[in-house]
Amino acid sequence: MLTLQLDEVRRLTGPSLLWDKSGAIIDVLFEGIEQQSVLSCLQKWVEHLLSEFDWKQESYTHRLHQFGLNFALSAPLDSLYSACDVLELAWDCTVSELQHSALPDWSARLHVIAAELKQEKNPAMLALMHAAEQHQVSCLLDDDHISLGMGATTSTWPVREIPDLESIPWVQYKDIPSALITGTNGKSTSVRLAAQMAKAAGICVGVTSTDFIRVGDEIIDYGDYSGPGGARMLLRDTRCELAVLEVARGGILRRGLPVKKVNAALITNVASDHLGQYGINTVAELAQTKFVVAKALDESNVLVLNADDQLVISQSKHVKASICWFSCDEFNPLIQQQLQLGAPAVFIRQGEIVYHHQGQYDAICHVNRVPMTLNGAAVHNVQNALGVVGLAKALHLPQAAIMQGLQQFGSDSQDNPGRGNVYHINGRQVIVDFAHNEHGMRAVVNMAKQLNASRYISMFSHAGDRSNDDMHNLTSAVRELDAAVYVIAELDKYLRGRAPHEVPALSRQFLLEMGVDDQGILTADSPLQGAQKAVAAAEHGDVVLLFVLEQRQEIHEWLLSQSEPSVTV
């Protein structure tokens, strides 16, 4: 059966998985037909429409994947909406031809697009951007505003009120040091730890993350700011002296990188998560997506990479930037290679975090003095610490500030909300973590198993858009805790097509199939109720592990009301 489906059409504003150009991209899904037939027909219509539209100077590229293709069309930054319309029209014509149905009135639709393009075009804006490039000045653009410079030197104007180019004092505009951080897990923790190090150096540091955007100690807004919008807001803030930008997979695929040039970047790890979106269907393809951050680096910049991650190692072969490898194992072959070459590396030696470059070994800090590692039990946070040390060195932060940041950054709701937060309640140790994919959940379970515990109690939930296989794997990760009691909580806001209580019922069935006694499985109507049931089921000496995907603030406040949180150091 032939199916041809338009998934999404969107603008590309920065370097992306397909290429470095601005333009539009269309995601299409199909089955019952050869890929090449669809691609050839779409290319034919794109070329025809570009010719009719007098856009002969524009180019296109594509990427085939298991279920369809991504097709990108270049366009000036003042014509991106029109480019989206052209791509969508080309796809409509393609579908009609392949289904042998009547073609749409493409000529009439092109006339409409042409009229809209006249309203969209902004020659003065493009002239300003070109002049900025000639003067090597950073220029940030959104729908409403355009700005030159970063931090204290920033000037911003409405896109329809561009100043005379001759009046612009180009020499006053400067960039601030900046870094990108991506990976499947550990992004937010790494961003916050890097900010703590910069703060210890007396720098007013700004961060964007999936939780908030912050400059210095002020949180500007809560929400997911891991895309270009958050980066622009931060880089335009006149207080910001250094920017650490979390870059998530979704932001890279939707719009491309938020900036074209940074001083350093860190990729924490790559593991299965959010597959099946934007044509990314395998973990290898996800790794390629994460490595788009390398496009913002040149050979003089540093990309910090995880030498214990095989997917990261595989993708590193295509990187032009200088690489700083990090590993928990000093004798990892890549670490040993770096030491022989005099290249940068971060590793553990006799419990000490050590940074090496050009034959010099700097002992930064003992792992046991880094609170978020829980005396080394949180191996994933040991890895995060190593990666951030490499990033901080690449940003030329003082070693004393790096050490101070490591020692001051706590595993609590103030420094790192939702990531390995520890509370002590009447002899019971309670750990709250946001982990929501298999890789992250197994890391947190492994951390909990390193702690001294009489028994384990766990509460967890799954979002409804996970497949049954995904839910089975996630439940299996929690099962490795071998808990005395499992509490499965409903996520009302994340049913995403599932019936009420369907997901907890599936998780319960999975646990039963994995050998968990029915008496050891409880259910709850919400994460808050689940946390309360889990803590109530615990006894003195037990460790309670709460995977909190929703109601994090409510759970934090309830735990605080039971006992003051404390950090194991």
Strands (E) across 368-527 are located at 421-425, 428-433, 456-460, 485-489, 521-524
Q: Which pLDDT belongs to residue 569?
A: 29
Domain regions of the chain by residue span: 3-120, 123-172, 178-408, 421-562
- Name the pTM for this structure: 0.88
Q: Which pLDDT belongs to residue 415?
A: 65
Is the model's pLDDT at 566 over the cut of 50?
Answer: no
- Give per-residue pLDDT as tens, 79-107: 999 999 999 999 999 999 999 999 999 99
CA–CA separation, 108 and 88 (whole Å): 14
Residue 40: how many other CB atoms lie within 10 Å? 12
Residue 505: how many other CB atoms lie within 10 Å? 15
Lowest mean pLDDT segment, chosen from 59-63, 251-255, 386-390 = 251-255
Q: Which pLDDT belongs to residue 410?
A: 72
Determine the average pLDDT of the residues in 7-27: 95
Whether CATH 2.60.120.10 fits 178-408:
no
- Give per-residue pLDDT as tens, 297-310: 999 999 999 999 99
Q: How, if at all, do strands 60-65 and 145-148 pair?
A: unpaired
Question: Average pLDDT of the chain?
Answer: 93
Is there a contact between 176 and 241 (Cβ–Cβ < 8 Å)? yes
Q: Which pLDDT belongs to residue 564?
A: 55
Domain range 421-562, CATH class: alpha beta
Strands (E) across 280-382 are located at 302-306, 322-327, 345-349, 352-357, 360-366
> What residues contact residue 38 under an 8 Å CB cut-off, 6+ apart?
4, 28, 30, 68, 69, 94, 98
Determine the average pLDDT of the residues in 161-174: 95
Which residue is listed with tokens 């100077």?
57
